[in-house]
Structure 1
Amino acid sequence: MQAILAVTFPFFALVLAGYLATRRGLLPEAAIPGLNTYVLWFALPCMLFRFGAGLPVAQLFNLPLMAIYAACALLLLGATILLTRSARVGLKDASFGALVAVFPNTGFMGVPLLVALLGTAAAGPVILTVLVDLVLTSSVALAIAQLDGHRGHGWAAFGRALRGALTNPLPWAIGLGALVSWQQVQLWAPLAKAVGLLGDSASPVALFTIGAVLARAQRVGNETGKPTPLVDYLPVAAIKLFIHPLLVLVVGLNAMRLGWPVDRFSVIVLALAAALPSASNVSLLAERYGADNGRIARIILASTALAFLSFSGAVWLLT
């Protein structure tokens, strides 16, 4: 366990550093969009491109693993909406709450963390989850959220959400890396060095940015003046940290027993990816779509704070 904490502690410490720097005013909130832009459009694409270019294409687009992870995400998404919708929580807010219950912070945190813990063999399954969540899970959740007050426009809403997902640079970076791997192309050495420098900066800057985004989301949520009862957000954080990884693990292991062409290591990587805290960028989406961002921010904060112990425990149990 000590060896696991030695790896996980620095990752969560950087998140805390970004959170405290923003709360204390050392990092102006006006700088957060710039940090997000740098991570999303430069550093993370280079990191994912390098992983994609260094892996066989079959590992990046393992259809049985994709099916397992996607089925669990969609099942839990629907179940969380049904369980959390109430007089206080409408369909839109329930949909965004369900999205943070099934969308782990894989891009900003999970890829570098799981590779550090399990080696480069973990990169393929983790990157696969990024593709599923960015393209499918988020699109379905946003489509359901837009049905609130607009009955009968589900496919149109899904189409809009899917088009939005396809403007994200991360899937394209993964796809370009896969193309380079497939064609066995070698980048020009100076260009490869530049890509490497940007990719190496992704993890620390992304983790610091997570903390900054969480601090900003908490401040915006507090300014709404609406107190959020514990029952409206803590159970969703528990679903994210405990039910989601357990569901992925059970479905994956049973798929193995049924003869699906998946291996135990990949299933464990999927389960650990699901055990990560909620994706912090969902708070930005909630704000953009007019959902209760205070509630979403509290779910993300709770899952991130608790994940240091819960995720470390999951790694200890499964590896």
Structure 2
Amino acid sequence: MLNVLFVTTPIFILIAIGFLVVKRGILKPSEVPTLGRLVTMVLLPSLIFVSLSQRSFDEVMNGTYLLLYGIGSVGLFMGVLLYCHLKRGQPFVSSTLNALASTCSNSGYIGFPLVTALVGPTATVALALCMIIENAVIIPLALVLAETGQNRKGSVLMSVFKTLALLVKSPVSLSITAGLLASILEIQLPGPLLKAVQMTAGASGALALITIGGMLAGLSLSALKGSMAEILTPAVGKLVLHPLVMMILLLIFPDFDPQLQVAAVAMACSPMLSIYPILSAKYGYDGVAAATLLVGTIASFFTISFAFWLFGATGFLELGTEVFPDWLLGWPRLRGGDM
């Protein structure tokens, strides 16, 4: 358990630093989005590009991982949507937003530093593959269904095109495309330029976590009253069901890179995406979404620590030991091997 805390505690210490920086007035809440833009528009794209471009295409484009993460996320999305709408009787729009929060991870700000601590450089491959699923499948699906639920029949198609255009033109998407092309064509950046990009990429993890802490400092728990069910459903879905679904699928899917297997579970353990309140604001659910993000991020410290203790991540951190314990899985093929 101490080894697990050794992995997770530094991540949340940096989040706490970001929280205190805003609460102490070192940064104003209005200044935090600037840090977020720096991370998402410069630092993370640099990290993704430099990592993907220096790997072979076959090593990067893992079809099994994409299929597993895609099926698991979409399947859980539909399950949460149907549960909230049919079982709990929530409006279709809020049910869709709950499904989005349950299946779309904060992969850039929390998932990536977490996976890096567990599997090292392989984390960037996992980050790129997860972002492909999130940006190309989950977010567009959620926004299309939300638009439909708002009875904006005439604007649904236009909304889809606008959303896809924004996602395709985002720096993260462009860096994934550029990195894959460089990998396919075996293009290498000149030494000084590569060093500059690597230095930029190296700052991404810490600044991303500090940014998420600053964002949390500006959120309010005032939306908790009368909304606990709407907050707890996506929180449980994201922090418990999402990683559990990935674990179950790992038992079914063909064997692949053990480090990417751990990365799939770790990414799914991350709380919901940081722009969840922004996406929800268009439909009038930004208050509940902000409270959900706050509760989910705080709770993720405990759920992530418990998950990696339960899934045997401590063993993975030791050379030559198993990724997942036999008492939990009993499947010898899910062994981490030597790092």
Q: After TM superposition, is the score higher than 0.5?
A: yes
8 Å CA contact retained: 2:97, 2:142: yes
CA–CA separation in structure 1 for the residues paired with 2:49 and 2:267: 19
CA–CA separation in structure 1 for the residues paired with 2:226 and 2:63: 40
Counterpart residue number, 1:65: 65
Counterpart residue number, 2:124: 123
Structure 1 residue 148: Cα displacement = 2.2
8 Å CA contact retained: 1:277, 1:300: yes
Q: Aligned with 1:279: secondary structure? A: coil
The yes-or-no answer on 1:253 pairing with 2:251 is: yes
Q: 1:117 to 1:265 in 2, by over 3 A?
A: closer
Q: 1:145 to 1:166 in 2, by over 3 A?
A: same
Q: Alignment partner for residue 304 of structure 1, among 294, 297, 304?
A: 297
Give the structure-2-normalised TM-score. 0.84
Q: 1:11 to 1:56 in 2, by over 3 A?
A: same
Query: Per-residue CA shift, 1:155-181, capped at 9, x if unaligned?
Result: 444333222221221121122122222
Bigger shift: residues 304-313 or 136-145? 304-313
Q: 1:200 to 1:41 in 2, by over 3 A?
A: same
Counterpart residue number, 1:290: 283
Q: 1:143 to 1:188 in 2, by over 3 A?
A: same
Calculate percent identity across the aligned residue pairs: 25
Q: Alignment partner for residue 162 of structure 1, among 150, 161, 164?
A: 164
Q: 1:23 to 1:135 in 2, by over 3 A?
A: farther
Query: Per-residue CA shift, 1:235-289, capped at 9, x if unaligned?
Result: 3201101101111221232022xxxx634442332122101111112222222x1
Q: 1:159 to 1:66 in 2, by over 3 A?
A: same
Tell me the number of residue pairs that the alignment of Structure 1 and Structure 2 aligns: 310
Q: 1:126 to 1:41 in 2, by over 3 A?
A: closer
Structure 1 residue 88: Cα displacement = 8.2
Q: Given residue 105 of structure 1, which amino acid in structure 2 is its aligned partner? A: N
CA–CA separation in structure 2 for the residues paired with 1:270 and 1:74: 14
The yes-or-no answer on 1:92 pairing with 2:90 is: no
CA–CA separation in structure 2 for the residues paired with 1:269 and 1:144: 29
Counterpart residue number, 1:278: 272
Counterpart residue number, 1:182: 184
**Unaligned ranges ≥5, structure 2:** 313-322, 324-339
8 Å CA contact retained: 2:271, 2:297: yes
Counterpart residue number, 1:231: 229
8 Å CA contact retained: 1:81, 1:95: yes
Q: 1:237 to 1:193 in 2, by over 3 A?
A: same
Structure 1 residue 138: Cα displacement = 0.7
Counterpart residue number, 1:48: 48
CA–CA separation in structure 2 for the residues paired with 1:145 and 1:178: 32
Listed as ranges, the matches of 1:131-146 within 5 Å are 131-146=132-147
Counterpart residue number, 2:77: 77
RMSD: 2.3
Counterpart residue number, 1:113: 114
Q: 1:253 to 1:88 in 2, by over 3 A?
A: closer
Structure 1 residue 133: Cα displacement = 0.7
Q: Given residue 118 of structure 2, which amino acid in structure 1 is its aligned partner? A: L
Q: Given residue 196 of structure 1, which amino acid in structure 2 is its aligned partner? A: Q
Structure 1 residue 94: Cα displacement = 2.2
CA–CA separation in structure 1 for the residues paired with 2:4 and 2:50: 25
CA–CA separation in structure 2 for the residues paired with 1:21 and 1:293: 24
Counterpart residue number, 1:210: 212
8 Å CA contact retained: 2:29, 2:217: no
Dislocated runs of 4+, deviation >6 Å: none
CA–CA separation in structure 2 for the residues paired with 1:15 and 1:138: 25
Give the structure-1-normalised TM-score. 0.89
**Unaligned ranges ≥5, structure 1:** none
CA–CA separation in structure 2 for the residues paired with 1:134 and 1:54: 23
